[in-house]
Amino acid sequence: MADERRKGIRSDAVASARTHRRQWRDYRTAAGGRPVKDFIDALADEEVAAIVADMKDVAQRGLVAAKHLRGDVYEVRTETATRSFRILFAQEGRYGQVLLSLSGFVKKTQKTPLRELALAEDRLRDWHRRGEALRRAFKT
The pLDDT tens digits for 29-62 are 999 999 999 999 999 999 999 999 999 999 999 9
* Contacts (Cβ under 8 Å, ≥6 apart) of 37: 26
pTM of the model: 0.81
pLDDT at residue 84 greater than cutoff 60: yes
Q: Are 73 and 124 contacting, i.e. CB atoms less than 8 angstroms apart?
A: yes
